[in-house]
Amino acid sequence: MKCKLISIAAAVVLLSTQSLGTDLMHAFHDSVENDPVIRAAGATLLADLQKLPQARAALLPQINLNGNVARTKLVNEIANPIAAPSGVSYATSHNFEATITQALINFQAPTSIGIASNEIRAARVNYAAEKQDLILRVAKAYFDVLGAKDNVRFTGSELRANERQLDQAQQRFKVGLDAITTVYQAQASYDRVRAEMIAAKNSVKNNKEELRKITGKRYTSLKTLPDSVPLKPPYPNNVERWVDLASVRNKALVVSRFIAKASRKNIRLQAAANAPALNLQGVYNDTGRKTPGFARTDLRTSAIQFQLAFPVFQGGLTIAKTRQAQQQYHQSLANIDDAYNTAVVATRTSYNNIISGIGKIEADKQAIVSAQSALESTEAAFKVGTNTFVDVLEAQRNLYDSQRILASDTYAYMNDILNLKNAAGVLKIKDLQELNDWLYRKVTSATSGNKMDAQTLRKQLDQKDKQKKSNPKNEKKTSTSVTSQKNASSMVAKK
């Protein structure tokens, strides 16, 4: 009985979690396990870590074992009746050798160790950069899905509004208030939005696939943003301090500096190819041979010796490789300058985008309020005959475009927060967690004066659309009132 209760409780918790939708951190943890890019970066790091043991191997003892056993066929033209009556005999021989070598003087080995150390440091930083890039990719893919869904919602509201306008245009045409061109204009606007609706739904599917490519999972629902998000400038609120931070901690810049250090050591490595090398070597040899008719011979020798190698001239190979390494070092220095400029531009751009994004979001909210007021006034002017039906459609279009721009600017603002910290090299998981917390915020922003929350306004507009669609009698009353107004105005004109 208890087991059933536990299973039922677990199922309830699971269903409640699914109903809330997958949040940003859940998608990120799935991507850590399933993203092929980050897994490839991890494998690359583990492979690069083996460069240091490979470089150290030149200074450690080298042990070699060699051996061979041979059986030789001997044919004698004069047969030996005692040893080989048939004139054919077989001789066996063996040779075993063990060699141990220890480097005493090797000018290239320490330099190779230094190169490997810098390459490993660069590999570690590069892996950290890939983890930061994973945060950016997950956040962008997640917000792209939310943005595409918002676009579907906006387009759906616009489609319902255009459908209502088309019905009104047809009714006005039937009673003789408008020409057939008004119906054509309404039909064209409705068809255009219907095509946009198809494209918007397809965009949701495509963006979900992009998210699945990173996380390896398909999500039935995603946690959406609340009515508004906190709008705050970066801390510190000084772009120069962010640039200074990026000049020290930007991952691409740090990697380029380690590569430059390795390239500089590579010049010394190539030049040391003409340097002498001294090794201490111990050799043990066991040789034996057995031939029919002869005594068995066995020889065992051991020796300790010094090996000196001094490649004085190799046809100019060392000089050419040294010059090549010098130019590669100059190339790495130029790459540092390029990485620095890229980091500075990315930092300043992201910082400026955040500052301007805050102002744009505030302006977008006000633009929605203004567009709603313009739509209402345009509809009222159309009823009295001072505006055309095209003016109504255009005002309606401006309202929904303003909603789309607000959603787009909000997601861009959130992405720019992560982009700034990534450019400065300080992006961490806790920064993504902070944005994830915004998904659960219940922001109760008071609508005072002319400012109104965008999503609240959108909900009100959707509710109005549903009310108007559910009460067609109101539309008939409206058309009747318009007819009476037009008749009254015509009577005044005649008088």
Residue 35: predicted pLDDT: 96
Asked if the structure places residue 221 within a domain, the reply is yes
Gap between the Cα atoms of 170 and 176, Å rounded: 10
Of residues 210 and 453, the one with the higher pLDDT is 210
What pTM did the predictor assign? 0.80
pLDDT band with cut points at 50, 70 and 90 for residue 89: confident
**Residue 351 in domain:** yes
Task: Name the percent of the chain lying above pLDDT 90.
Answer: 67
* pLDDT of 159: 93
Q: In CATH, what number is assigned to the domain containing residue 481?
A: 1.20.1600.10
Rounded Cα–Cα distance for residues 7 and 411 (Å): 39
Number of domains the chain contains = 1
The residue type found at 286 is D
pLDDT-derived band at 18 (thresholds 50, 70, 90) equals very low
Of 36-50, 415-429, 437-451, the range with the lowest mean pLDDT is 437-451
Nearest to 48 by CA among 119, 130, 127, 128: 119
Q: Is residue 7 part of a domain?
A: no
User: Taking residues 115-135, what's their average pLDDT?
Assistant: 97
Domain-located, residue 115: yes
Residue whose token pair is 């003016």: 391
pLDDT of residue 10: 42
- Residue 112 within a domain: yes
Do 126 and 41 contact (CB within 8 A), yes or no?
yes
Residue 208 inside a domain? The answer is: yes
The mean of the pLDDT values for the chain is 85
Is 305 part of a structural domain of the chain? no
pLDDT of 91: 84
Residue that wins the pLDDT comparison between 176 and 195: 195
- Between β-strands 88-105 and 62-75, what pairing exists: parallel, antiparallel or unpaired? antiparallel
Supply the range of the domain harboring residue 419: 20-63+107-276+320-485
Query: pLDDT confidence of 291, banded at 50, 70, 90?
Result: confident
